[in-house]
Each structure stands twice: as C-alpha cells, then as structure tokens.
Amino acid sequence: MPSAAAPADLDLNLDLIARAHAVPVPDDETALKLLTDEELRPGLEAVVADRTGGNDLWVFAYGSLMWRPEFAYDERRLGTVRGFHRRFCLLQRRFRGTPDRPGFVLALDRGGLCRGVAFRLAGTDVHETLMPVWRREMRGMGYVARWLPVVTDGGTVPALTFLVNRASDRYSGRLADAEIADRIAAACGNLGPSAEYLYRTVEACAALGIRDRHLWSLQRLVAERLRAQIALTAGPA
C-alpha cells in the first residue's frame, strides 16, 4: 500500500484544534443510548448468516477504522466501494460532541463511490472476530451493516461495510459543507473535538494517497472557523 506523510497544504492541524478546544468535556452517558452485547448479538448473527464469498473475513474502513482499527488483521488493501460515498452525515451527541453541540462522524451514504481500506481480519471464530468492530460501530444505532464487494488490486472481496442508518434520528441528510463545518468546528466531547476526528481521517487518507474532495473542503472550512474562535476568545490585542 502507498504510504506518505500528510501533505503540507492542509489548513487543519492538531495544534490549531487543541488551542480552540483547550477545556476537556466530561462524558454524558445520557447523551446516547448504547446497545449491550446481548442486544447486539442477534444482529451480528444475522449478518454472519448472510455472509458469502469464501473463508476470508474482510471489513471495509473509510473513516476512523482506517486510523484506529482496534482489531487484529493479517492484511490490508486499498479498495473501492461503488454505489456509496463517504460523507459527514451522522450526528454525534456523545464522544465527539454533546447534545447542545453535536459533532459529526462519517458514514457511507447513497451514490458515487468511496476509496478506503479493506482489512482481512485475523481469527477463526467469525462471531468472536467480528464482535469488537460490531460493538464499536453498531452500539449507537447509527449504522446498518452490509456485505459489499470491494475492488482491490488483488481482486474483488466481499467486506462487511457500515452504511448510514437513514432511519436514525442521528442522520442529518445532505447538508452543505459550510453547515457541516460549523458544527464540526464547535463540537467537542469526552473523546475530544469533532475536528480531531476530521483531521485524523484526512491525515490517514493523505498517507494512503486518497484525496477526497468532501474531506479536503471541510478541513479548510473547519480551520477557518477554529481560527475565528481563537481570535474571538483572545479578544483585542
């Protein structure tokens, strides 16, 4: 896989984000209901039952799973999913935001295509191997899971892929980049600013040679808003 340092033309950076969000935000367990493992298990069993395409177990990553997978894997490949595009369309009222100032996380929505990473997971027990990523992505009820064909240089593989749950009250629909940037710039949760999630994803894409116009537009707009926040709190010189 290609690997390179993040490009120098990025407007957004960690120092800027830290200066704009210097005050930690405590966790609010009431902000987002999380499903238990017992509640998650039937959905996992159903998606495993729908699995086809051989013994290898693949997961497609397009957001935070690219830079923080939290599962063991034997192989990773650049890959493309067609029919869905990466977009900040899932509100985050906890972890990277609050109920008063929700942030955004990425999901796949209808139309277009998405380049990301296909991970071949390590492990022989399918349920046990998938449960960590299933718990992480599905406990907040913001996604639906599908096995989608991912085109890679090594061939097309069926990968578990997490699409936006359009029935969820967290689904924002298609907002303009400027409105998304307003919310990302303002939002911070107990795991940190929403802008950091954006930056980490842009950085990961850049290192992989993936240039996503939506992400690059947002990082520029968010950087502008963070600079304005810093100037406002600093007051007159």
Amino acid at 133: V
**E strand spans, the chain:** 58-61, 73-92, 103-121, 143-152, 155-164, 188-189, 192-193
Catalytic positions, written as ranges:
137
Query: Which candidate, 88, 137, 178, places its Cα nearest to that of 146?
Result: 137
Q: Which residues contact 66 (CB under 8 A, 6 or more apart)?
A: 116, 117, 201, 204, 205, 208
Residue for token pair 């509640």: 39
Phi, psi for residue 39 in degrees, rounded to 5: -70, -30
Query: Which candidate, 211, 221, 112, places its Cα nearest to that of 176?
Result: 221
Q: Would you state the structure tokens that stand for residue 10, as one six-digit string?
A: 């990025």
Q: Over the Cα atoms of the chain, what is R_g?
A: 18
Q: How many residues does the chain have?
A: 237
Q: Are 147 and 161 in contact (CB under 8 A)?
A: yes
